[in-house]
Structure 1
């Protein structure tokens, strides 16, 4: 029997994370509530993409470790593990081939482009899927409260120069 309540996600909800993958990609994730994440991709293959209200499955797998999984409208599947104790993040991203062929199509605010993302997904190609399996260091963590619409509300190139140091 675990010494923690597997259903209690309060330790993770409302947290904002910034992390850098070993390959140099910088991402930001906000666990908005038990069913939704917002995220912003600062650089990397699909840098300058940002998303609000992405449905997510969250599972607490240890006292300070949770796993998040989701499928994007692009057809990309994501599975990540956040280890708060060690400030470590492990992510596996399953990119459909069309994204590797045309990563520029995913840039911008995804929510404004959902019909277009679904069109690209259906047009493909889907295979072969590119699997990115990387560790990341969590470089910033802040409790921002649940359902805070101000956490991720613009593209990364619109952030102040001193981000994230300017966060209260």
Structure 2
């Protein structure tokens, strides 16, 4: 019979220990967050993945990003170190969704849409767009409106980077979506290929272009 229950909470992590004796405990960790109601604090479990953006969406979003479609080339290198261009395109579909397609580099042939978190650095000039892929890859890009560049940090998961062909396809295809999700299960969190690169914008216009729209509440994980 359990004689004691200990709960420790730190940095949104809840450690619950059921102790039979002073040196015999069974512990588990869950993710939690605090909510306040009538001046009382409550703990609720979070369903992961989960976004928390502490920066309110700047009103300039409507002019700077909403419905904007970019086509850009990353300055990259091939497997032998020779310079080449990796063409991407992205459509800022809504205040929390993007649609994109990759046309160059090892991920060419990948058509996707994601939940994102936007941050305005300077209205009319610079925006940061952040998201998590279903493959486990983390992406953060900085869109420089004035200088017409996109600076990217792409932290590829082991499964995504080492199985680039398996990451091709279209999320609208259930088989592709399921395969991409499985890529996230390979390796551990630190097994990543971290890529930092800059792209020059070739086209900027409003509308979907050749990309297909999605439902506003489309599932992305």
The size of the alignment, in residue pairs, is 144
CA distance in 2, matches of 1:67, 1:7: 15
- Unpaired stretches in structure 1, ≥5 consecutive residues: 155-168
Q: Partner of 2:212 in structure 1?
A: 153
TM-score (norm 1): 0.79
Once the two structures are TM-superposed, the CA of residue 99 in structure 1 deviates from its matched residue by 1.9
| Correspondence for 1:20 among 73, 76, 87 | 73
Whole-Å separation in 2 of the counterparts to 1:139 and 1:8: 23
1:117 equivalent in structure 2: 180
Conserved? CA contact 2:158–2:187, under 8 Å: yes
CA distance in 1, matches of 2:161, 2:183: 12
Whole-angstrom distance in 2 between the partners of 1:25 and 1:92: 14
More strand by share: 2
Supply the distance in 1 between the matched residues of 2:210 and 2:59 (Cα, whole angstroms): 25
Deviations 1:14-52 (CA, angstroms, capped at 9, x unpaired)? 000001111121100000011100000001121110013
TM superposition score normalised by structure 2: 0.61
Residue 139 of structure 2 corresponds to 78
Q: 1: CA distance between counterparts of 2:120 and 2:171? A: 28
Determine if contact 2:127/2:142 at 8 Å carries over to the other structure.
Answer: yes
Q: Which runs of 5+ in 2 are unaligned?
A: 1-56, 77-84, 214-221
For 1:153 and 1:44, the matched residues in 2 are separated by 22
**CA RMSD after TM alignment:** 1.8
Question: CA separation in 1, counterparts of 2:65 and 2:87?
Answer: 20
- Aligned residue runs from structure 1 range 2-41, under 5 A: 6-10=58-62, 11-23=64-76, 24-41=85-102
**What's the counterpart of residue 61 of structure 1?**
121
Q: Distance in 2 between matches of 1:110 and 1:131?
A: 23
Once the two structures are TM-superposed, the CA of residue 151 in structure 1 deviates from its matched residue by 4.4
**Bigger RCO of structures 1 and 2 (CA < 8 A, at least 6 apart):** 1
Cα pair 1:7 1:60 within 8 Å, conserved? no
